[in-house]
């Protein structure tokens, strides 16, 4: 059985985009339940300025209070060297840095050009190297940008190659607004894989247009073995309020199991973790696998 | 550009499974808006006993009141020769018959064995032959049954081959409870395509576990060129109330366009048709493409 790695982004990317504030204990319980369900790679917090992302203010507390399970990697988003120093102090296992494949998006999202964002990451990479911390990179808008529209595959390749040269071990290709299809993902991957080894790439598909799982299948067929997902589809889409955002981890795990892939994740426990955090947030579970599971469960108990 | 055929099942399979009754004028408007959006194959009604399916009681009126557009095929579900006679009188362009790949499902759904259901269709096929009416066949539960669980691919192949021998021009493979994955669909199609030409097969994927679009992609890659879908995801899942049912036509059309396939369907007009019927039903639009489109539209108008 081949193994597929899931990077769980619910506790960070997910909760960051939920409107309702959430108690520290609920965040900690979520992270622990995800690890208990068998998730091995969890983005647990973000050391950005709390002025910009108030939901992430407690990241140091989260990393300090975590009950760290052996074999689980707890990642922190580190936008600059100041954030990386805080993440180091909080004993994050991994840094995650982020830039975009769209100049307009980079300017609006992180107030600098793509080139400037890469310069800003140089001291983060130095710090990581000194302390033997692996660094993961996100590239946003690989399939399209809310400001520019279509993005050239060449730009994605250049930015990704540059991040790997700088020392990141993996680039997560983000379809931030979910506009990609099986067709456009195939075209991008065909281009990228001429220049970048498949083992250094991950897919981060959003489900805004319902395409995320089909797009992951395209990646899987192309040899991609790492996928980002968010339990219960936490997160929504900041560019289209009311639309879907992150792919639900449950739905991805269900597909991968059906394709004979090993993830190490126990689906029932994962669904339960998603149900708990949705109850705490007072929102519907956006995973269809969870919805089907919950509907059957309540039918049995009727 | 290659062409893919969409069989729109929203006005029948979809509305039949909606709890709320709906006015005849709303049904007629839906059918006409779908045709106006470019849909060429629309399941418009069902000549089953209104005792069993009250939502379909008006099918004769629908067929009589339809403004028939040239090049559009209006199909009627015909469970037996009495229904087929009514459909003929109402000038349906096509009959659709249905059986299952699961004995238990056949017994519970249509009160007879699979073999008996095929016998029951013999006079329907005779009537169709006499009047030169094409007949489409549905096979339910090809990926799993709510009563039996897993279904052997051999059974699906045998039932499908029998329906084609009887004179049906196409078999629509129904994943009635949406449990299929890319893996199980690949296994089934590999088996089926050794015995049945790909042009005689269609996929009818349900989205109960969020897998429908990825499963359609598997079919597309295997050469399938006909897919059933339901505008706005009308229908839900009768076996798990609260769970998703039919694949939304909008989401399928979006994927196919991205894969360079021609459907002849104008997405904006299709979304508008789905929004209208959802308003009439007082329900949310279950198409993610429609939700993203609507969210962007209201953001622009804010």
Interface contact B259, partner A, CB < 8 A: yes
Residue appearing with tokens 């508008």: B272
Round to whole Å and give the CA distance between B263 and B249: 11
B259 CB neighbours in chain A (<8 A) are 181-183
For residue A280 the two structure tokens come to 């705490």
Interface contact A286, partner B, CB < 8 A: no
Q: Give, to the nearest 10 degrees, the angle between helix A249-258 and helix A212-221.
A: 40
* Contact between residue B40 and residue B266 where contact means Cβ atoms under 8 Å apart: no
Nearest CA in chain B to A296: B240
B240 vs A299: CB contact, 8 Å cut-off?
Answer: yes
Mean pLDDT of A93-117: 94
pLDDT at A54: 66
pLDDT tens digits for range B140-173: 999 999 999 999 999 999 999 999 999 999 999 9
Interface contact A17, partner B, CB < 8 A: no
What percent of chain B is predicted at pLDDT more than 70?
98
* Contact between residue B262 and residue B1 where contact means Cβ atoms under 8 Å apart: yes
* Phi, psi (deg, nearest 5) at residue B105: -65, -40
For residue B186 the two structure tokens come to 């690949």
pLDDT tens digits for range A148-169: 999 999 999 999 999 999 999 9
Interface contact B178, partner A, CB < 8 A: yes
Q: In the structure, what pLDDT confidence band is assigned to residue A301 with cuts at 50, 70 and 90?
A: confident
H or E stretch at B298: helix B288-300
Tell me the sheet residues that pair with B124.
none
A244 vs B214: CB contact, 8 Å cut-off?
Answer: no
Mean pLDDT of B52-56: 65
Residues of B with catalytic function: 237
Q: Give alpha helix (H) positions in A131-211.
A: 153-165, 182-192
A237 vs B209: CB contact, 8 Å cut-off?
Answer: no
A180 vs B209: CB contact, 8 Å cut-off?
Answer: no
pLDDT at B53: 66
A243 vs B291: CB contact, 8 Å cut-off?
Answer: yes
Which pTM was predicted? Answer: 0.96
Residue appearing with tokens 């560019």: A239
Interface contact B175, partner A, CB < 8 A: no
Instruction: Measure CB to CB from residue B259 to each of A181, A257, A299 and give the nearest one.
Output: A181
pLDDT above 80 (res B301):
no
Mean pLDDT of B13-17: 86
Question: CA geometry: angle at A175 spanning A170 and A176, to 5°?
Answer: 110
Round to whole Å and give the CA distance between A28 and A41: 15
pLDDT at B293: 95
Q: In the structure, what pLDDT confidence band is assigned to residue B242 with cuts at 50, 70 and 90?
A: confident
pLDDT tens digits for range B175-230: 999 999 999 999 999 999 999 999 999 999 999 999 999 999 999 999 999 999 99
Q: In the structure, what pLDDT confidence band is assigned to residue A79 with cuts at 50, 70 and 90?
A: very high
Residue appearing with tokens 């790997």: A164
Cβ neighbours for B157, distance < 8 A, ≥ 6 positions apart? B191, B192, B195, B196
Instruction: Measure CB to CB from residue B217 to each of A217, A240, A260 and give the nearest one.
Output: A217
Dihedral (Cα; A105, A109, A115, A121), 10-degree rounding: -140
Residues of A with catalytic function: 237
pLDDT tens digits for range A20-77: 888 999 999 999 999 999 999 999 999 987 777 666 678 999 999 999 999 999 999 9
A180 CB neighbours in chain B (<8 A) are 258
pLDDT above 90 (res B19):
no
Q: Give, to the nearest 10 degrees, the angle between helix A249-258 and helix A267-281.
A: 170
Nearest CA in chain A to B209: A289
A97-111 burial, b for 16+ CB within 10 Å, e for fewer? bbbbbbbebbbebbe
For residue A241 the two structure tokens come to 């309020």
Round to whole Å and give the CA distance between A245 and A286: 9
pLDDT above 70 (res B54):
no
Interface contact B237, partner A, CB < 8 A: yes
For residue B32 the two structure tokens come to 């006409």
Calculate the alpha carbon distances from B92 to A87, B4, B18, B76, B85 in Å: 67, 23, 23, 6, 10
A217 CB neighbours in chain B (<8 A) are 182, 214, 217-218
pLDDT at A56: 62
pLDDT at A55: 60
A242 vs B294: CB contact, 8 Å cut-off?
Answer: yes
pLDDT at A284: 92
What percent of chain A is predicted at pLDDT more than 90?
85
A209 vs B244: CB contact, 8 Å cut-off?
Answer: no
B182 vs A260: CB contact, 8 Å cut-off?
Answer: no
* Contact between residue A196 and residue A157 where contact means Cβ atoms under 8 Å apart: yes
pLDDT above 90 (res B294):
yes
Q: Which of A17, A183, A210 to mutate to probe the B interface, most B CBs <10 Å?
A: A210
Round to whole Å and give the CA distance between B205 and B247: 6
Q: How many CB atoms lie within 10 A of CB A115?
A: 13
Burial (CB < 10 A; 0-12, 13-18, 19+), residue A49, is middle
B291 CB neighbours in chain A (<8 A) are 242-244
B254 vs A211: CB contact, 8 Å cut-off?
Answer: yes
pLDDT above 70 (res B138):
yes
Instruction: Measure CB to CB from residue A255 to each of B211, B255, B296 and give the nearest one.
Output: B211
pLDDT above 70 (res B55):
no
Question: CA geometry: angle at B249 spanning A259 and A221, to 5°?
Answer: 25
CA A18 to chain B, closest CA, distance in angstroms equals: 16
* Contact between residue B99 and residue B58 where contact means Cβ atoms under 8 Å apart: no
């Amino acid at each position: 059985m081949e193994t597929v790695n899931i990077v769980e982004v619910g506790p960070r990317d997910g909760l960051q985009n939920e409107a309702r504030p959430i108690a520290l204990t609920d965040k900690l319980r979520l992270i622990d339940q995800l690890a208990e369900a068998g998730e091995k790679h969890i983005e647990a917090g973000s050391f950005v300025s709390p002025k910009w992302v108030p939901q992430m203010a407690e990241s140091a507390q989260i990393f300090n209070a975590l009950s760290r399970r052996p074999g689980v990697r707890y990642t922190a988003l580190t936008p600059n060297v100041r954030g990386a120093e805080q993440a180091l102090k909080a004993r994050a296992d991994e840094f995650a840095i982020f830039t975009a494949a769209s100049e307009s998006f980079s300017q609006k999202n992180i107030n600098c050009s793509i080139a400037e964002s890469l310069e800003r990451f140089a001291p983060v990479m130095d710090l990581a190297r000194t302390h033997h911390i692996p660094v993961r990179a996100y590239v946003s808008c690989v399939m399209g940008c809310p400001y520019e529209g279509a993005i050239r595959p060449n730009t994605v390749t250049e930015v990704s190659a540059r991040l790997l040269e700088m020392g990141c071990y993996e680039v997560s290709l983000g379809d931030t607004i979910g506009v990609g299809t099986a067709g456009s993902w195939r075209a991008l991957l065909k281009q990228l894989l001429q220049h970048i080894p498949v083992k250094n790439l991950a897919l981060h598909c959003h489900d805004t247009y319902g395409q995320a799982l089909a797009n992951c299948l395209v990646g899987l067929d192309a040899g991609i073995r790492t996928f980002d997902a968010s339990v219960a589809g936490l997160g929504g889409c900041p560019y289209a309020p009311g639309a879907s955002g992150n792919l639900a981890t449950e739905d991805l795990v269900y597909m991968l199991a059906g394709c004979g892939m090993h993830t190490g994740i126990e689906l029932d426990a994962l669904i339960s973790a998603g149900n708990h955090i949705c109850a705490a947030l007072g929102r519907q579970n956006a995973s269809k696998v969870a919805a089907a599971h919950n509907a059957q469960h309540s039918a049995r108990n009727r």
